[in-house]
Amino acid sequence: MYTLSSTPAGDDAPAGNHIDTTDHTDPTVGDLVDLEELDWWRRPCAVTDTILLSGDLPVPEADALRQLQVWLRSGVGIIVDCREEYSDEQFVALHAPEVTYIHVGTHDAGGAQDPEWFSTTVRRLREAQAASDAKVVIHCHMGVNRAPSMTLAVLLDEGWDPVDALDAILTARPVAAIAYARSAVRWHHDRLGSPDHVLDRDLERVEEWFTRNGVDAARSIGRIRRSG
């Protein structure tokens, strides 16, 4: 089961303490913060020139505003929230009404993900990108499983090879465990109508990748907690 909502940029968003980013022209995250000063949980990690991967906004409002400012000043104009359990949609609409917020939440209980979760999220992201050339940040709670798995789906939709995409995600965010990678690969080949042997070959390559890289969710979560 997944939940979804979206707030497009526009004049209907409520008024609030709008964050001013006009003094910055296409800065990188590194121009604004020392990434080594940020713990892995909420460190924005650039997977590509247009896709950032992160954990969620902090709970304290002042900290959430600072984190949101980092995203905005790095060029983010689209937020994809993969959490079923919470949403910052109203907070972002209040403080950054120009941002398109896509909330398509799902569980993080292990096992498989509903293919429709991938289809709906990718479709909404492509619709938002058609109206904006802004960067996107994809996040869940800790940036370990759901958001990295959705990032994989987005890269597959862009034509990436599954193993190359996994390499890019892990290189950018070493704490990513990508537990739903197999679901993303199945979703991708199902919509392509791939023959069974093509799907099986890619699933085997994904299994080999996980073994080769020693990716483990418990280890990733422990690393995040130690860095906090």
Residue with tokens 């569980």: 107
pLDDT in tens, the chain (228 residues): 555 555 544 333 333 444 444 433 333 333 434 444 458 899 999 999 999 999 999 999 999 999 999 999 999 999 999 999 999 999 999 999 999 999 999 999 999 999 999 999 999 999 999 999 999 999 999 999 999 999 999 999 999 999 999 999 999 999 999 999 999 999 999 999 999 999 999 999 999 999 999 987 666 666 666 655
Calpha distance 175→216 (Å, rounded): 9
Which pLDDT score is estimated for 217?
Answer: 63
DSSP 45: E
Neighbour tally for 198: CB within 10 Å: 12
Phi-psi region of 158 (alpha: psi -120 to 50; beta: other; left: phi over 0): alpha
Domain ranges, ordered by start, for the chain? 2-227
Amino acid at 12: D
C-alpha dihedral, 35 to 142 to 79 to 65, nearest 10° = -60
pLDDT score, position 3: 58
AA identity, residue 65: L
Q: What is the pLDDT of residue 63?
A: 95
We find that the CATH architecture of domain 2-227 is Alpha-Beta Complex (3.90)
Cβ-based neighbours of 173, under 8 Å, separated by 6 or more: 40, 43, 45, 47, 53, 143, 148
What is d(CA 148, CA 169) in angstroms, rounded to the nearest whole number? 7
**Contact at 8 Å (CB) between 91 and 50?**
no
Strands (E), 56-212: 76-83, 100-106, 135-139
* Per-residue tokens: 24: 């910055």
